[in-house]
A and B are shown apart, each in its own frame.
Chain A
Amino acid sequence: MASTVVDVVMPQMGVSVSEGTITRWLKQEGEAVAFDEPLLEISTDKVDTEVPSPGAGVLQRILVQEGETVEVGTRLAVIAAAGAEPSPAPASAPPQAPPEPAAAPERAEPEPAEPGPAPAVPGAGDGRSFVSPVVARIASEHGVDVARVPGTGHGGRVTKKDILAYIESGGAGAPPAPAAAEPAAPPPPGPEAGPAPTAAPAPPPPPAAAPGPRVPPPPAEAAPPPPAPPPPEPPAPAPGEIVEPMTAMRRGIAEHMRRSLDTSAHVTTVFEVDMTKVVAIREKLKPQYQAAYGVNPTYLAFVARATIEAIRNWPWMNAEVRGESIVVKQYVNLGIAVALEGGKGLIVPVIKNAEGYNLLGLARAIADVAERARAKKLVPDDVQGGTFTITNPGGWGAIIGTPIISQPQVAILDVEALVKRPVVIADEAGNDVIAIRPMMNLCLSYDHRLVDGAYAAQFMKELRENLESWDEATY
């Protein structure tokens, strides 16, 4: 009996990802599963995700249990055609071998004239993670999550036709990107239709179910499944609600923020800093820097420079909890949180080896990454490898914040607004007087798993001293 079985394998979630951990099985042995239905959740060092079922049938055997970490390509489970007995084989027996070619000759090459035969797709799902350039572009233009599109290409890859059919069938559940939105104006008078909108959706492709050899049927021999099972529909929007799909960036932020809170023991401490000296020095340097270098020495640059200097004596601020180990970085890769226009996201470009910059270099580097972040000119390398992050909501007037740490770092510094406040200081004679001083709050969120309150406070105290007694010769 040659019942078709489909292997579920650990997918490749990114070029540099070599292993993944099973976080949860969404189906148990013996349960029926549909093609493309979420089957399990996995976690890698880059991303956590659901893995859709590469075939339809019954989850016959789970080979890798929750919590286990295995290499990409490892078999995780076996799905058998519907009706198969759950786990009939003895536990020690190897999983079912490929069916014996009883009558059919080895299908080395597809028979050209014979329509319909499905080339056996070993380990379907291998190809799913590869997104071709045109599919990536269409997905981006239409805000489609490629992982939700049923793939008919090699190894289950999503082809251009698949994604066009998915969008055509309304699967995207979203209007096309703004650029593609064509006002519903009447066509201009005249014999010729107006110019085609540049980003208009391509002509409707043939339905996914069109007969043809290019569409290998799902590898199980279950009853013919629906050709393109739509993903589970979210509840329809209520009146007055506008629904839009999350962008990949928004999903990434959501996942990362949640995971960070689940990972680190967040504590926030706030220090007040008297910026009188920094303000004076900045007033002096600003025209010089702008005339000579075209660079604005921002308060952020001063704070960043003083922070890097303080890290020198408090290295656990620039460290990572890796398993049971503490990894201290001997360099400072400084992440600078940059908000994108219109609240459409946040990105944290990294200034590599920031400890090597003086104030001028740091100001220039911050301006450079911020500019490239807003112009979407960053390359993946620009956002990786951060060891400490600074965020700067003070520009909008914020005075206190409790930022969330960017994993796997252990601290993030929140630079707040510079505000003139009445403060009590000592005059020359040692008497208390009330003075008007430019004050700034610095809020540090740190991971209490590694950094204790006293350590964090001492780091902040040094940071404050660096700023209040700014030494031009050093910085």
Chain B
Amino acid sequence: MPELTYLQAISDALRGEMRRDQRVFVIGEDVGVYGGAFKVTLGFQEEFGPWRVIDAPLAETAIVGGCTGAALMGMRPVAEMQFSDFVSCAWDQLVTVAAKQHYRAGTPVPIVVRLPSGGGFSGGPFHSQNPESSFAHVPGLKCVCPATPADAKGLLISAIEDPNPVLFFEHKHLYRRIKGDVPEERYTVPIGKARVHREGDDVSVVTWGAMVYTASEAAVALERDGVSVEIIDLRSVVPWDRQTVLESVRKTSKVLVLHEDTHTGGFGAEIAATVAEEAFEDLDAPVRRLAAPDCPVPFSPPLEKAFIPQVEDVERVLRELAEY
């Protein structure tokens, strides 16, 4: 089984689907000749031609609007937002048109919007955000946030197959840092099924995306002190796997919900509320949340480090929970 980076896994999955299914095409800013800002579609235009690898103008509204129309005509478009931050320009097409089309007219809108997300490289307020919570609040959109190369491939294929609009949040910090075994053959990972990243008995961490690795490092540190941490990688926030989360909470009775997005109204609030509602009698400590503070992502490296939850922050909260 080859070892691929997270980025290579996404690229492979996309290329494979384009070879397999003539309806699949990609569109985005600089995805063609340049191969994409992060080179996910490098070589795609040579292989598939300019009609299936379309360089779009700097107009996210046009990109997503075009995809929605194409999907209604039977295509399987995969749009790339150069940075997930720019998706705000496509809000109207996604929220008003794509998300509601099926409910309004009964027609599916099988589009995928790839969103390179997340910070950790001094990208500042316009190139570092994690906007999944905003879209999780919109009925009709699925929100996928893979953490591993194997999941990135399997979930992207599921997203392309899915008849609904799917937002595919790829974490930029994982692109080249994270490698993993990825099966060569085609496979899917079901959207809405969480993954137990690490088994433990004392405290549960519910998280997704790059924070899976932050939690993992903290868990290793706590293990040395005899605290056993379970990590649930949600893999998607819409739909999200309540059952796996609640099973873990019932086992450990203590839970930290961790995300890189900002705190207030973040998707962690939804998880914390659900745990409180459905597992109240299994709780041995308050449900804790750890997230970025409610402000834009700073440029300055020390400030950004203070902004994004770090391993030490997770360790601290986990210790508080363990000692509660």
Interface residues of A (CB under 8 A from B): 109-110, 112-113, 115, 119, 132-137, 153-154, 157, 159-160, 210-214, 216
Contacts and interface: CB of A to CB of B under 8 A. Distances in A.
Contacts of A134: 253, 281-284
Nearest to A132: B284
Nearest to B282: A134
Given A112-B225, A115-B226, A133-B282, A160 B324 contact: no
Contacts of B221: 112-113
Contacts of A214: 202, 226-227, 322-323
Chain A contact residues: over half helix, strand or loop, or mixed? loop
A211 B226 CA distance: 8
B226 A210 contact: yes
Interface in B203-232: 221, 224-227
Contacts of B284: 132-135, 159-160
B281 A213 contact: no
Contacts of A213: 225-227, 319, 322-323
Interface string B131-149: 0000000000000000000
Q: Taking each of B202, B224, B324, which has the highest tally of chain A beta carbons within 10 Å of its own beta carbon?
A: B324
B253 A154 contact: no
A119 B281 contact: no
Q: Taking each of B227, B281, B282, B323, which has the highest tally of chain A beta carbons within 10 Å of its own beta carbon?
A: B323
Interface string B221-265: 100111100000000000000000000000001000000000000
Nearest to B224: A113
Interface of B: 202, 221, 224-227, 253, 280-285, 315-316, 319, 322-324
Contact of B316 (A109, A113, A154): A109
Nearest to B218: A112
Contacts of A212: 225-227
Nearest to B227: A214
A115 B280 CA distance: 31
A463 B285 CA distance: 54
Contacts of B315: 112
A214 B203 CA distance: 12
B283 A112 contact: no
B323 A132 contact: no
B282 A216 contact: no
Q: Taking each of B221, B224, B284, B319, which has the highest tally of chain A beta carbons within 10 Å of its own beta carbon?
A: B284
Contacts of B253: 132, 134, 160
Nearest to A119: B323
Given A112-B225, A213-B322, 10 more contacts: A110-B319, A112-B319, A134-B282, A134-B283, A154-B323, A154-B324, A211-B226, A212-B225, A214-B226, A214-B323
Q: Shortest 5 CB-CB distances between A and B: which pairs? A: A212-B226, A160-B284, A137-B281, A132-B284, A134-B284
Contacts of A133: 280-284
A132 B254 CA distance: 11
A134 B226 CA distance: 22
A48 B281 CA distance: 27
B200 to A, nearest CB: 13
Contacts of B280: 133
Contacts of A160: 253, 284
A137 B253 CA distance: 12
B228 to A, nearest CB: 10
B323 A216 contact: yes
Contacts of B283: 132-134
A153 B323 contact: yes
A137 B280 CA distance: 10
Given A134-B253, A157-B324, A159-B324, A115 B281 contact: no
Q: Taking each of A113, A119, A157, A160, which has the highest tally of chain B beta carbons within 10 Å of its own beta carbon?
A: A160
A161 to B, nearest CB: 8
A110 B128 CA distance: 33
Contacts of A159: 284, 324
Contacts of B225: 112-113, 115, 212-213
Contact of B285 (A113, A132, A210): A132
Contacts of B202: 214
B137 to A, nearest CB: 28
A159 B321 CA distance: 11
Nearest to A210: B226
6 contacts: A112-B319, A133-B280, A133-B283, A134-B284, A135-B284, A214-B323
A464 B322 CA distance: 65
A460 B173 CA distance: 84
Contacts of B319: 110, 112, 213
